[in-house]
Amino acid sequence: MRFLILGFIIGLSGKSLAEPIQLDNTNCTICELLVDAIGLSLDNNTVDGCVELVVLIVCEALKIEDERVCKGIVSEFGSEAIYILKALIKEDPRNLCGFLPIGCGYKFDPKGFRWPLVMPGLKPQHEDVPSPPKNQTLKVLHLSDLHIDNHYLPGSEANCSEPQCCRSNNTNVEKAGVQIPAAYWGTIGNCDLPYWTAEDMLQQITKTHTDIDYVVVSGDLESHAVWTYNTTDHAYMIQNVSGLLRKYFPNTKVYFALGNHEGVPIDNIAPHWVPQGNLSYQLYNVMANAWDDWVPDDQLAVVKYRGCYMVKLYPGLRLISFNTLYGDPEN
């Protein structure tokens, strides 16, 4: 959504970011006055839909993405963009003018608008910890960025016009036919992992590595088709992958962490003080239920509140699972 709005601005101006429009102070003042007017209008829910419609039209007209991708992205980020726009204007109307490539030269960075974050205390002093004896080792399976695509279709187009290909519903297949067919086990390019390939991988691992002490899954379960993200599909993926790991590692602990693709929309998770509704994150309870008996009972409430937890694995060794979305610069 951020890039679509930026494209809208560039399209109207006919300029590139490298060549900002030169306006005098009077025109910058006009920008502020216009922003004030927009701020009043944004209190009207009807205007929210109009803003989304304008961005959608620009996305399609400038061919920033295919029509279906444009609609999905605008729908995904619409509520968030309107909320942030209102917050920026409420903080200072000039924040919005600062986003425009018009060379006003304000002495602030609207992109520096950040959540207030109160640190729980001072960093503890570092203490040297003796290395364990060399004969004490652990074998850990680390699964990262699986990006399973439940819509992967062998024989579909692997070089499509959308950001994500090898899918059953890519748009350019009907027009030109399949030029590069997707392979059964996966395809190098803008394609993600078939579910059956992920399962076959786990089967092979359990056959060749019978002494794994625990498994770490460091997020990004979903495909890269970010314009299709929704809470229902994400919940299904979390439950499905968790069930798959229970099937092949029934007696081994598995510890998950959140990646940026666990965000709905991608990269995004709102703090608890924002209004409930489209901005609220609804998957923490799903995670707590799917990871039950892997996460200690005294940590389940923490998972349900902020998607992180701590586990004492062995004497002197603990695992801390961060919700990495809190540190995502795109959040």
End of a domain among 59, 92, 112?
112
pLDDT above 90 for 5 = no
211 and 99 share one domain: no
Max avg pLDDT among 23-32, 57-66, 84-93, 183-192: 183-192
pLDDT of 47 strictly over 70: no
Q: Where are the beta strands (DSSP E) in 7-112?
A: none
Task: Answer yes or no: are the C-beta atoms of 62 and 47 closer than 8 Å.
Answer: no
Same domain membership, residue 106 and residue 11: yes
In a domain, 126, yes or no: no
Query: Number of folded domains in the chain?
Result: 2
Q: Are residues 197 and 317 in the same domain?
A: yes
CATH number of the domain bearing residue 291: 3.60.21
- Separation between Cα atoms, residue 193 and residue 147, nearest integer Å: 6
User: Tokens at residue 295, please?
Assistant: 């996460």
Residues 147 and 287 in one domain: yes
144 lies in the same domain as 87: no
Same-domain check for residues 207 and 315: yes
Instruction: Encode pLDDT of 161-186 as tens digits.
Output: 888 999 987 665 555 678 899 999 99
238 and 99, same domain (yes or no)? no
Q: Is residue 264 part of a domain?
A: yes
Highest mean pLDDT pick, 33-42, 56-65, 233-242: 233-242
Q: Which of 253, 240, 241, 267 is nearest to 323 (CA)?
A: 267
174 occurs within a structural domain = no
- 33 vs 161: CA distance, rounded Å: 41
Residues 182, 158: Cα–Cα separation, whole Å: 5
Q: Are residues 275 and 198 in the same domain?
A: yes
Residue 276 exposure: Cα atoms within 13 Å on the Cβ side: 1
Predicted confidence at residue 260, as pLDDT, reads 93
144 and 105 share a domain? no
**Assigned domain for 259 exists:** yes
Residues 192, 146: Cα–Cα separation, whole Å: 8
Among 13-27, 132-146, 213-227, 259-273, the range with the most confident prediction by mean pLDDT is 213-227
Q: Has residue 225 been placed in a domain?
A: yes
| Region 288-302 average pLDDT | 95
- Give the per-residue pLDDT at 42: 58
> Which whole number is the average pLDDT over 275-304?
88
The span from the CA of 75 to the CA of 175, in Å, is: 26
Give dist(CA 282, CA 218) in Å, integer: 20
Range of the domain at 148: 140-152+192-327
Q: Is residue 162 part of a domain?
A: no
Q: What is the pLDDT of residues 202-235, one digit of tens each?
A: 999 999 999 999 999 999 999 999 989 999 999 9
Q: Examine the domain organization and report whether 148 and 106 are in the same domain.
A: no
Residues 199 and 304 in one domain: yes
Identify whether 20 is preceded by a cis peptide bond (ω within 30 of 0).
no
DSSP output for 198-230: HHHHHHHHHHH-----EEEE-S--S-S-GGG--
| pLDDT attached to residue 174 | 57
Q: Select the more confidently predicted residue: 36 or 194.
A: 194
Q: Is residue 163 part of a domain?
A: no
> How far out from the chain centre does Cα 180 lie?
29
> Is 249 within the bounds of a domain?
yes
**What pLDDT does residue 125 have?**
85
Is the confidence at residue 24, as pLDDT, over 60?
A: no
Q: Say what the pLDDT of residue 225 is.
A: 92
Helix (H) or strand (E) segment spanning residue 232: helix 231-248
CA-to-CA separations, 222 to 39, 53, 321, in angstroms, rounded = 36, 28, 19
pTM of the model: 0.77
